[in-house]
Amino acid sequence: MVRLVFLGKLGDAAPANLSEVALPGEVKTLSDLRDWVGRTAPLLGRAIAATQTRIVLNQTVAHDMSACVRDGDEIAFLPPMSGG
């Protein structure tokens, strides 16, 4: 199982059943995961693709989309930020 977190407007587009998921065997990397999310929840996939989304793996910004996704990981999808 992995934990998925969708922030900001991505949270509005994310189905509730996508927060804790057992990933199929073919999902091995962050890139695979992003594609799988797009297939599983097309509305969310389009929202992720339409904006500059950053991915955070276990609380660290992921720069390499070929990084492996492992059981127990937490992966967050961050749209452009608007603090201050």
- Phi-psi region at 66: left, alpha or beta (left = phi > 0; alpha = psi -120 to 50): alpha
Q: Which of residues 9-28 bind other proteins (CB under 8 A)?
A: 9, 11-12
Beta bridge partners of 4: 75
Among 1, 39, 59, 71, binds other proteins (CB under 8 A): 59
- Least Å distance, CB 12 to other proteins, is 8
Report the chain's C-alpha Rg in angstroms: 12
The tokens describing 76, both together, are: 């967050």
- Least Å distance, CB 74 to other proteins, is 10
Q: Which residues here bind other proteins, judged by CB under 8 A?
A: 5, 7-9, 11-12, 56, 59, 76, 78-84
